[in-house]
Copies of this chain bind each other. A is one copy, B any other.
């Protein structure tokens, strides 16, 4: 039988993502709406271990819906991977009378939540927050839409200078295991070629494509590359390779890096965060546990945490074809 929920702890864990603050705000205010307590846990699981808590009411989260980062801060905790660490964490939340958790983060954060739940029977709900969009069970993770806009905004700037000088740019974007950012931002920014982990384009085809692009009368080109693509060379080696094979090209490299994690969240991310926060709290109130809230189609849905962790978020193969047509 499900226990009555009286006080929910909320934390952010793993890499931060725009929209996390909007999700925290939503969790806090939904708790207030239902007259239950809410405690902010700082620095993710590490803060649970250290008892770094703060009671939160609706006014604690004023004016954060539009702020990047996370007011609860995030950290990776090695200690939480040990039974001793988790025991400390449990003792702390028990002392603080926290009876359930909302965990905002990615795969790793959900795994921690699951283990913790299995050991101490604390109801947990996950909210997917990562710019990489690599979580099974949701079409969009918090921060992903914002990161896409950040990336195309930067590539628009790079294109200004690329087309003034008839240059080729290699732009590396985030995405170690998943090419969602590269594929969508690449289409959005009008990239001539997109290299992602999911598709092994190969060096030969890249050269062919660049040759064809030159012949077709394009004066400048942008190639978008996911961090984790499998072409076998890093972006600087790739530059050297292309320049030695296609001497007509003057290649410049831009590695976008951590700016992709920051910035005011897009409207899409703020609304999604608000919806997911409401559903996360209300799912706990319904007596459920071990689910991730997500969005599929236009509907807020529940996916068992186990599936969210094990499943793989596939890219949409149709987009590869769209990208190919667009770069004609």
A contact set with B: CB distance below 8 Å: 12, 15-16, 18, 20, 25-26, 29-30, 32-33, 58-59, 62-63, 65-70, 73-75, 139, 145, 148-154, 156-166, 169, 184-185, 187-190, 216-218, 252-255, 257-264, 266-268, 270-271, 274-275, 278, 296-298, 300, 316, 318-319, 321-322, 325-326, 328
- The complex is assembled from copies of this chain, and their number is 4
Residue contacts A-B, CB under 8 angstroms, 13 given: A29-B325, A58-B328, A59-B216, A63-B190, A65-B190, A66-B152, A145-B267, A145-B268, A156-B262, A157-B263, A254-B259, A271-B322, A297-B297
Would A163 and B267 count as touching, CB distance under 8 A?
no
A311 to chain B, nearest CB (A): 16
In the complex, A156 Cα to B267 Cα: how many Å? 11
In the complex, A30 Cα to B326 Cα: how many Å? 7
A148 CB contacts on chain B under 8 angstroms: 266-268
A182 to chain B, nearest CB (A): 12
A15 CB contacts on chain B under 8 angstroms: 161
Pick from B16, B29, B275: contact of A318, CB under 8 Å: B275
Would B257 and A254 count as touching, CB distance under 8 A?
yes
If A188-B271, A325-B29, A328-B32 touch, whether A257 touches B252 (CB-CB below 8 Å) is yes
Pick from B149, B187, B259, B296: contact of A274, CB under 8 Å: B187
Would A63 and B159 count as touching, CB distance under 8 A?
yes
If A165-B16, A318-B300 touch, whether A160 touches B67 (CB-CB below 8 Å) is yes
In the complex, A142 Cα to B97 Cα: how many Å? 48
A240 to chain B, nearest CB (A): 17
Pick from B65, B74, B190: contact of A164, CB under 8 Å: B74
Would A30 and B325 count as touching, CB distance under 8 A?
yes
